[in-house]
Chain A
């Protein structure tokens, strides 16, 4: 079973490579650059150094992981395949955010729900407050703007 899992992508890659070679004989496969490796590593988290992205983690384990990414890239794997490989090997925790399924939906649902609830409560509060008390109505006189500003400023500065 396990062997099957390893071998299918390899076979597919081999087939793909053969196809590519047949198509364009002249282009030699470029070795993946550090930047290509880091672009993927940036979005992965190694359990050995929690909360530090793989591209900047200094441990030996992480260095090995980056080499693994390089190897997979040179085999022609794409980013999604490599990430999936890491998830299969080491679990969901390698991803920067939990995959949206099962219980993990809560991660994405709770904050918006809570914020909307907050908006609703605030809205209700405004509704209940908005019974204009007569003395609080703005005076509809139109003094020159600067005077009104000075008035307001004085009022604001006075009440400390």
Chain B
């Protein structure tokens, strides 16, 4: 049956040859799409940035108007905590974080930074006041820092060593003061 069809059509229609650029275009499109998907997938699979990597610089403008760059903090251990006033689990660890900060502050070796994720300023200030938080905190302007760290929610805490290398990631709140201490202490002697 199919043979007759091709014979019939020979006379009435010349076979439309596939233009070469058409094939190239199709392959370019498909491979391009696959590449985008692969990169997107890799990004999604990576989750938060990897422990052991050097953390690229970021700058945090605190609620007080002071600008802090990560590069300026070389030689100190940086505890970077993402939080928000609407986040209930954040409240569990707020007091412990502050207590840890008060413990380390005199030594000058450790700096705590709070990044306020997708939050509104009045509520954020009220939160800081409620838990008596004294370490520098600032809004995540343009959600740039959270995107750089690819956070998946709040609270998340990233501990960066004296050479700006990421050493520890805590997803969700810390289990308590001791938990925070035990994560930071090993980095001090280095």
Instruction: Write the residues of chain A forming the contact surface with B, with a CB cutoff of 8 angstroms.
Output: 1-3, 46-48, 59-61, 63-65, 67-68, 71, 87-93, 128, 133
The reply to whether B67 and A64 form a contact with Cβ atoms under 8 Å apart is: no
Of the residues A2, A64, A90, contact of B143 by C-beta under 8 Å:
A90
Of the residues B65, B85, B86, B139, contact of A1 by C-beta under 8 Å:
B65
Which residues of A lie under 8 Å from residue B65 when comparing CB positions? 1-3
Which residues of A lie under 8 Å from residue B121 when comparing CB positions? 68
Interface centre among A63, A64, A133 (most CB of B within 10 A): A64
Please report the C-alpha to C-alpha distance between residue A59 and residue B142 in the assembled complex, in whole angstroms. Answer: 20
Please report the C-alpha to C-alpha distance between residue A3 and residue B147 in the assembled complex, in whole angstroms. Answer: 24
The reply to whether A47 and B118 form a contact with Cβ atoms under 8 Å apart is: yes
Which residues of B lie under 8 Å from residue A91 when comparing CB positions? 142-144, 147
Interface residues on B, range: 20 to 34
Of the residues A2, A59, A65, A67, contact of B61 by C-beta under 8 Å:
A2
Please report the C-alpha to C-alpha distance between residue A122 and residue B140 in the assembled complex, in whole angstroms. Answer: 50
Please report the C-alpha to C-alpha distance between residue A126 and residue B183 in the assembled complex, in whole angstroms. Answer: 71
Please report the C-alpha to C-alpha distance between residue A105 and residue B16 in the assembled complex, in whole angstroms. Answer: 36
The reply to whether A46 and B118 form a contact with Cβ atoms under 8 Å apart is: yes
The reply to whether A90 and B118 form a contact with Cβ atoms under 8 Å apart is: yes
Which residues of B lie under 8 Å from residue A88 when comparing CB positions? 141-142
The reply to whether A64 and B120 form a contact with Cβ atoms under 8 Å apart is: yes
Say what secondary structure dominates the interface of chain A: helix
Say what secondary structure dominates the interface of chain B: mixed
Of the residues B16, B85, B139, B143, contact of A47 by C-beta under 8 Å:
B143
Of the residues A61, A92, A133, contact of B84 by C-beta under 8 Å:
A61
Interface centre among B12, B16, B86 (most CB of A within 10 A): B86
Contact with A along B89-124 (1 / 0, CB 8 A): 000000000000000000000000000001111110
B30 CB to nearest A CB, Å: 15
A44 CB to nearest B CB, Å: 12
Which residues of B lie under 8 Å from residue A3 when comparing CB positions? 65
Interface centre among B16, B123, B147 (most CB of A within 10 A): B123
Q: A48 with B118: in contact, given A59-B86, A64-B86 (CB under 8 Å)?
A: yes
The reply to whether B142 and A68 form a contact with Cβ atoms under 8 Å apart is: no
Please report the C-alpha to C-alpha distance between residue A61 and residue B122 in the assembled complex, in whole angstroms. Answer: 13
